[in-house]
Amino acid sequence: MRSPSACIAVGSRRAVRPKRNTEAMCGIVGYIGNREALPILLGGLETLEYRGYDSSGIAVCVKGGIEITRATGKLIELKKALAGRKVMSESRIGIGHTRWATHGRPTETNAHPHSAGRVSLIHNGIIENYLELRAELEREGCVFKSETDTEVAAHLLNRFLEQGFKPLEAMRLMCGEVRGSYAFLAIDAENPDRILVAKNSTPIILGRGEGENFIASDIPAILPHTRRIVILEDGDLAEVTADSLYIENRGSIVKRQEQTVSWDPITAQKGGFKHFMLKEIYDQARVLSDTLRSRFNEQEGSVQLPELEKLGAKAKEIKRVVLVACGTAWHACLEGKFFIESFARIPCEVDYASEFRYRTSLIDSDTLVIAVSQSGETLDTLGALECASGKGLTLAVCNVVGASICRKADMVLYTHAGPEISVASTKAFTTQLVALELLALYLAERRGTMSTDERRKVLQSLVHLPSAVAQTLRVDAAVAAAAKQLASVRDFLFLGRGTCYPIALEGALKLKEISYIHAEGYPAGEMKHGPIALIDERMPVVMILQREKQLFEKSLSNLKEVEARGARVVVVTDASPEQALGVTPEATIHVPFVSSELSPLLLNIPLQLLAYHVAVMNGTDVDLPRNLAKSVTVE
């Protein structure tokens, strides 16, 4: 890092302990032009509310400096804080942010914009090397006010500006120091005629107006003002004034094509997808990177979860693990059992939270109780956790920061799926699987139940997961075609063995939830002990067939039994397309093979799509299916 000539200290001198603070799902809006900025920024942030957030803030350029207002909670709190701040209401240039904390507390101090000297800055993404940068900046005299990774970027930018670099050069130098993903928007009190923008791995768009320009993380935020959009690419730096958009990449000016968006505002919120569920299915490649990011060192075969320090210290003493959850999260627990038993060699039980809490639960100090929940507010899961608390060590695996379950548990492992809006859980499930796999590896390392090479191998496969998910999503059209053939059927049977049995359960749950078609998941080997009586041409069977040798052959035998009884069969498999199945299914959906541990996750994706397409064909309310709530806060 270059040595700064000056670093302007801001705020209190009280030391703040840095914490990892990732904000990949936040909303960003910027405005510069001839109108008052505040209503445009607030309106844009309101449009992004669907993404979920826990705090917000706005910074505007005013005569002689920058004014900032931030608040925790909903935008109404920000509006209240802004009321009476006349000085802010007159500005014609500003930046606004809604923060959805995925790690780190949702406080006013952690809310964006962050300031340093003459600079005010907002950020989506993660600065991976922020701890080293912060230490270095602190040694040089910078005083930090927040726990965020973002604040280092504000200090760095301020430093380069103070060193005399031009605004965009300073931005370029700052981006050269940080490692990670980002969409940055910054304003400089000494150059109040422009907004600086930088992008790497986090989406950001520019909107062109007449005598005014806009910047946003998502199209809906600026749709009421313009439909002329310029999408920035990784490595782009932009300087946005009221009349111009200047974009460069690696030092050269670039021209990014202007596009005209024809979406209505609701379609825009869904990122152009017809439903939130479909958007969230497609989100998976990206959010799984968020679940994994900064949590392991592939070379060392090591998993780093500082938030589980307490568990790390006790890892060797744990004699039993009990996983509790409801619905889809319960299916994730069934997969978690496989991971924990095979990696960490600890006996595991999985219980429905609603059952566990009313049984005599034999929990002692050597038991680890894991409550898995997307929302962290499911009453039964919270109740189960309460039963265990004070007896054993408790851990929440949760998506929503600061949710009730997180506050109750001794430790929390966040899944970083981002806000899940559709009632049917999709990306929350897959991120839960990965979080539980990381947890199992973490325990295995500390218990010495896996060699470094074995752990490294598992981690290497996790590295490929986001791209394998992206590849898997290419089956969408084939799944839609199969769904068309099957949409009018009234019953379905989903079969799977081993780690694919929970996937059969999850596939059936998804289908019944949103299409209202009766579906059952069953262990394929159990079929002949009863359900086989149901099989005929009116009962289609979805077989989840993993290539793992022993189970592959056994599942094929089950498939033949089903076919012999006239059932219509859909095979979802990670076997290679060349591999003979010896049966002729109505449809065969192939997903890529990465590793046997990751097969269930990838095989689940076509089932999410199948449920989705069948539901759409049946005209149900996909995102808000009848009788269901996103979080069940009653018994």
Q: Which stretch binds ligand AGP (CB under 6 A): 54-62, 238-246, 327-335, 387-395?
A: 327-335
Q: Smaller CB distance to ligand AGP: residue 477 or 628?
A: 628
CA atoms within 13 A on the CB side of 583: 25
Q: For the segment 241-260, give every residue that binds ligand AGP (CB under 6 A).
A: none
Q: Which stretch binds ligand AGP (CB under 6 A): 212-220, 337-345, 463-471, 626-634?
A: 626-634
How near is the Cβ of 524 to ligand AGP at its closest, in Å?
Answer: 23
Measured from the Cβ of residue 359, the count of other Cβ atoms closer than 10 Å reads 10
Write the binding mask 407 to 436 for ligand AGP: x where contact by CB under 6 A, - elsewhere.
----------------xxx-----------
**Closest CA relative to residue 229, chosen from 241, 243, 218:** 218
Residues 6+ apart with CB under 8 A from 467: 285
Q: Which letter, b or e, does each residue of 62-99 get, where b requires 16 or more Cβ atoms within 10 Å of its Cβ?
A: beeebbbbbbbeebeebeebbeeeeebbebbbbbbbbb
Distances (CA, A) of 356 to 364, 383, 384, 390, 436: 15, 9, 6, 16, 20
Name the closest residue to ligand AGP (Cβ): 327
CA angle 171, 173, 178 (to 5 degrees): 95
**Assign residue 54 a region: left if phi > 0, alpha if psi is -120 to 50, beta otherwise?**
alpha
How near is the Cβ of 48 to ligand AGP at its closest, in Å?
Answer: 22
Distances (CA, A) of 528 to 347, 544, 546, 578: 28, 17, 20, 29
Write the binding mask 284 to 323 for ligand AGP: x where contact by CB under 6 A, - elsewhere.
----------------------------------------
Write the binding mask 3 to 32 for ligand AGP: x where contact by CB under 6 A, - elsewhere.
------------------------------
Place of tokens 């004699």: 319
How near is the Cβ of 622 to ligand AGP at its closest, in Å?
Answer: 12
CA atoms within 13 A on the CB side of 500: 27
Q: Which stretch binds ligand AGP (CB under 6 A): 25-33, 43-51, 367-375, 457-465?
A: 367-375
How near is the Cβ of 372 to ligand AGP at its closest, in Å?
Answer: 7
DSSP 113: P
Could you confirm whether 26 is annotated as catalytic?
yes
Could you confirm whether 630 is annotated as catalytic?
yes
Residues 324 and 381: beta-carbon distance below 8 Å: yes
- Tell me: does residue 604 bind ligand AGP (CB under 6 A): no
Residues 321 and 464: beta-carbon distance below 8 Å: no
Catalytic residue among 457, 512, 560, 630: 630
How near is the Cβ of 373 to ligand AGP at its closest, in Å?
Answer: 3
Per rule CB under 6 A, count of chain residues that contact ligand AGP: 16
How near is the Cβ of 325 to ligand AGP at its closest, in Å?
Answer: 6
Q: Smaller CB distance to ligand AGP: residue 373 or 573?
A: 373
Contact footprint for ligand AGP (CB under 6 A):
326-329, 373-375, 378, 381, 423-425, 513, 628, 631-632
Name the residues annotated as catalytic: 26, 630
